[in-house]
Amino acid sequence: MKDSTGGQTRIQRTKIATISDAALDVFSANGFRGSTVDEIARAANLSKPNLLYYFPSKEAIHTHLLTALMDTWLDPLRQIDPEGDPLEEVLTYVRRKLAMSRDMPRESRLFANEIIQGAPWMSASLERDLKPLVDEKAAVIAHWMQNGRLKPADPHHLIFSIWSLTQHYADFDVQVRAVLGPEVRDPFPEAEAYLLTLFRRLLRI
Amino acid sequence: MKDSTGGQTRIQRTKIATISDAALDVFSANGFRGSTVDEIARAANLSKPNLLYYFPSKEAIHTHLLTALMDTWLDPLRQIDPEGDPLEEVLTYVRRKLAMSRDMPRESRLFANEIIQGAPWMSASLERDLKPLVDEKAAVIAHWMQNGRLKPADPHHLIFSIWSLTQHYADFDVQVRAVLGPEVRDPFPEAEAYLLTLFRRLLRI
DNA sequence: ACGCATTTTGACCAATCGGTCAAAGAGGAG
DNA sequence: CTCCTCTTTGACCGATTGGTCAAAATGCGT
């Protein structure tokens, strides 16, 4: 009955996935404190005690989601290649981050909720995982700029601006659509064109 | 005992201000659903029934804050002068928005929480107040670009990018400080220099 | 079909939620 | 001081919160 994948049964794997998906819906829409276990259970079509059979507590579900997310979230940044073409590496990073906003808006909002509310669960991970990675990639970018392959600009704030601009289209989706009006079905093509223009003009020698 | 200012007593004015300030602390840190009336009352040094003597409900406090905020929030955009120097008008808007992130981070987070969670209270105001103003100013900017006084770029997304980049330093303050490290006491001077460079390179002919 | 581990459930718990109410307290105009 | 309005409070309400528990139901290998 046990399974090779981390000592989990087939049912456990599917139910945990179902619960995670439902919890992502609820947490990303209401934040941790604004979400209830009943609501997650309802979204997962499970009774509350049944849900708490798979996760020991509401906080455990939340932590599970955040730790799983952190890796996915940093992946595009890790892929920046010091040996690649500087401008193209940055623009590819922008494209990847914007694609994540388009394809994983719930994850983006879960992350945003956590940070806005002071990162009570993730602040340790920010120092331990995020800071070193950003420092490393910022050094790569700074090196490119010193070699005259990119126009100079503060590398850390460059990375901040990429995060900010791309995640905006997921986190503030309601506002973007309200301003653009209903005739704009999909803001992302326009957004990508604008952002690529922006970073080309900022960085291109 | 009554006062000329909208039929409010002196005590009412000061207590309502105290409650609003406390509620801004709580709502901006936890979102509407994640906040409790008890917590706001505690932050305002009032008993819960006393607080509910000045506001009929938790929702009324929240609505009060949001409606008051909407005006303040749109003010810098309103100040863009069609007769002014195009680049300087945009850069001044950036400076004003960044100053608001520095001086009113709680208001920024209150707004961000509301939008991220689908704008359940503000979506009407977004269509009624925000969209027309943005369309008007976007037309001004488009006109500048057509006259060759700014480099061409999508005006709506230009405005989005200003919102996104400036509010990031309030809403994601924890992340910014975690990445920059404790030796950077105040990220805002660096941020302003970076953002002004960014928009100059994007728009300057 | 058996037997055992896994899964699901309804009933239940103390604590907290938003909000009410009657009564007590405070403060100023006459 | 007196009276009346405004302010404050403790006690309380039903509903909901996160979480528990024993018992029932359901797999699943043999």
Superfamily of domain B59-203: Tetracycline Repressor, domain 2 (1.10.357.10)
Of A174, A175, A202, the CB nearest to B202: A202
Within B 51-80, residues with CB less than 7 Å from strand D: 53
CATH of A1-55, one of 2.40.50.100, 1.10.12.10, 1.10.10.60, 3.30.360.10: 1.10.10.60
Reported as a single tens digit per residue, the pLDDT across A29-56 is: 999 999 999 999 999 999 999 999 999 9
Q: Does B172 touch chain A (CB under 8 A)?
A: yes
Sign for the CA dihedral angle at B190, B110, B25, B179 comes to negative
Between positions 176 and 205 of A, the ones with CB within 8 A of B are 176, 178-181, 190-191, 193-195, 197-198, 201-202
Domains A1-55 and A62-203 share a fold: no
The secondary structure of residue B115, as a DSSP letter, is H
- Find the angle CA(B95)-CA(A166)-CA(A39) to the nearest 5 degrees: 110
What pLDDT is attached to residue A1?
A: 39
Q: Is the ipTM value over 0.90, yes or no?
A: yes
Asked if residue B90 lies in contact with residue B199, where contact means CB atoms within 8 angstroms, the answer is yes
Q: What type of residue sits at position A144?
A: W
What pLDDT is attached to residue B6?
A: 52
From the CA of B46 to the C1' of C15: give the distance in Å.
22
Helices (H), B31-57: 37-43, 48-54
**Contact list, B201 vs chain A (CB under 8 Å):** 151, 201-202
CB contact under 8 A, B115 and A171: yes
Question: Does residue B3 have a pLDDT over 60?
Answer: no
Superfamily of domain A62-203: Tetracycline Repressor, domain 2 (1.10.357.10)
The pLDDT-based confidence of A10 (bands split at 50, 70, 90) is confident
Lowest mean pLDDT among A69-78, A83-92, B5-14, B67-76: B5-14
C-alpha span between A156 and A112 (Å, rounded):
19
Q: Where are the domains of chain B?
A: 1-55, 59-203
Cβ neighbours of residue B134 closer than 8 Å, sequence gap 6 or more:
A179, B77, B156, B159
The pLDDT-based confidence of A7 (bands split at 50, 70, 90) is low
Give the orientation angle of helix A155-171 with respect to helix B188-203, to 10 degrees: 80
CB contact under 8 A, A131 and B161: no
Strand D, nucleotides < 7 Å from a protein CB: these are 5-11, 16-22, 27-29
